[in-house]
Structure 1
């Protein structure tokens, strides 16, 4: 298995959405087309997208939104289940951190992956807020 990492937003977004479903980030199959449009727009509007490949097979990705000088947030760091726990996620995180070395990084993750991010140097911060009632057009992922 030869894993390569690429920096590109030029992805097959059907395959990207497949991974969202495979890792159970998305669940409703009836909203696949809406999800695809939203995810493609989110990736293309991100400042940085990095992806992992096994040959020509997309196996994972992460994206960064940043102001480029102070703060950056990693979003959607997802790896196909059969490729998890092989160091691929760590490679993607490192690429993101190295792309913006001057920035403070933030991310949001499921409780199941806290130890993974801690091994990459992240710490849990108990203070944080989000706007619970977002815009009406906001997509919920369940």
Structure 2
């Protein structure tokens, strides 16, 4: 597989981003919302295979001390082929020397552990839809 890795938001099909997030059970919004989120991010990664968008992710950061990773997703039929690892390593390379946080989809914690992430004991969140996040397993 020949992957094309891009670090900008040029020529991204935002409908595919929204559909991919939906297909993997992650938060998804209208395409223009994802466009704004990615364009406002410190680091973005889009992975294509033969022109097809197969994975992506982003980080918000001050670029000095702190970063948070969001929206890491790989199209289901491309999962398990190392694309998620490429996305995360690329993002982490763009926020060197930063503490990096993320919240993993329930059941995906072991993937992030392979990249050095550790479970936090003091993580807290204020969600816009707390009932939905509890239903998905993100909160108690």
Short-chain TM bin? 0.7 to 0.9
Deviation at 1:37, TM superposition (A): 2.2
Counterpart in 2 of 1:112? 107
Answer yes or no: is 1:102 the counterpart of 2:97. yes
Deviation at 1:85, TM superposition (A): 0.9
Deviation at 1:35, TM superposition (A): 2.2
Pick aligned residue for 2:67 from 55, 65, 72? 72
Note the 1:27-46 alignment, pairs <5 A: 35-46=30-41
Distance 1:82 1:42 in 2: 25
Task: Give TM-score scaled by structure 1 length.
Answer: 0.84
Number of positions where the alignment pairs a residue of Structure 1 with one of Structure 2: 131
| 1:46-105, Cα deviation, whole Å (9 max, x unpaired) | 111101111100001000100110001110000001111111100111111111212111
- C-alpha RMSD of the superposition: 2.0
Counterpart in 2 of 1:90? 85
Q: Structure 1 residues 100 and 26 mapped into 2: Cα distance closer, same or farther (>3 Å)?
A: closer
Matched residue SS, 1:112: coil
Greater Cα offset, 93-102 or 57-66: 93-102
Distance 1:99 1:43 in 2: 15
* Structure 1 stretches lacking a partner, 5+ long: 28-33
Deviation at 1:26, TM superposition (A): 4.7
Q: Note if contact 2:65-2:99 (Cα within 8 Å) is conserved in structure 1.
A: yes
Distance 1:26 1:100 in 2: 24
Distance 2:18 2:39 in 1: 14
Q: In proportion to residue count, which structure has more helix?
A: 1
* Structure 2 stretches lacking a partner, 5+ long: none
Q: Which structure 1 residue ranges, 4+ long, deviate > 6 Å from structure 2? A: none
